[in-house]
Amino acid sequence: MPTMVSDSTRLVKVVGEQPPLRRKLVGRAGPWQLVRQVAETNLARLYTARPADASESQPVAYMVKMLRKEWWRDTAAIEMFRREVMVGSKVSHPHVVPILSANVRQPPFYATMPLLEGTTLRQRLDTGWKPTLSEVLWVVRQMAEGLAGLNDSVRMVHGDIKPENVMLSSTGHVTLIDLGFARGEGDDHGNLAKGVMGSFTYIAPEVVTSAYSASIASDQYSLGVVMYELLSGRPPFTSQDPAELIALHRGGKAPCIRSVCPELPKPVASIVHTLLGKDPLRRGMSYRELIERLVRLEIDTFVIPKSA
């Protein structure tokens, strides 16, 4: 069986959720002044930043992601980082994080992007947030639009759709982040294709079976898992055992979403279970079709808040 790369090991330490750092971390990355480390994964560290020639009074509006030194000689980690930079620099879409500048030729490897306002969808859910149906449809529709933008711009799939890779602003704007697993449909070139990539809880069955099966449909399966979790409060399949999770994705039947959410409209449940289909040929639909269906449901379920 191919090696599984699970992002469950890529734990993020975010200022405000973890004890604050003992001191501000000030340094340089090319033309960028690093202001403070704000997050960390097993592959990279993230810093708020401003142009190196800017004064300290200038607002911090950028984020620099730096590959950790221990990965500077790892070809797979470097390829993943370069892939993220390549995709992010070519895609211009309101729901996909852009890469503004980068150095991927030699250490230190870094990429600069806008400093996004808000928190990840995972952080929001961990606070106990229970979105309304209209909020779920709004978030999922924006995610679908971002995935469509990736496909239209560079013919790529995201490859790692999950709540940790979705930024949600205070106004509800969605931005897809972490493009390191992005690749073309059926891409079988390079180190990234040698193992199955993604997160166990959200990975599509065909990606578990073959590392070369990434497609629009596999991103849509992961989108379906996220949608199920937003509606019900938990993913359709849960287990601490990676092998069991793989088996469930490959052959387990997801509990009917209406058994968990009895008041959920049938058309919404239909989308969820279509996205969660085991066969990618039966699951897949064009993003245009998916977005149109979600927009219609948004309109049908929109509730005007009662005046105070």
Tokens (6 digits) for 209: 């079976």
- CA pair distance 203, 26, nearest whole angstrom: 38
Catalytic residue check, 160: yes
- CA pair distance 125, 127, nearest whole angstrom: 5
Burial class (CB in 10 A: 0-12, 13-18, 19+), 212: middle
Report the DSSP beta bridge partners of residue 64: 47, 112
* Residue closest to 52 by CA, chosen among 19, 81, 80, 29: 29
Q: State residue 31 phi and psi, 5-degree precision.
A: -85, 20
Tokens (6 digits) for 68: 């950790």
What is the per-residue DSSP string for 2-41?
PPEE-GGG-----BTTBPPPSS---EEETTEEEEEEEEE-
Catalytic residue among 74, 126, 160, 188: 160
Q: Which residues are catalytic?
A: 160
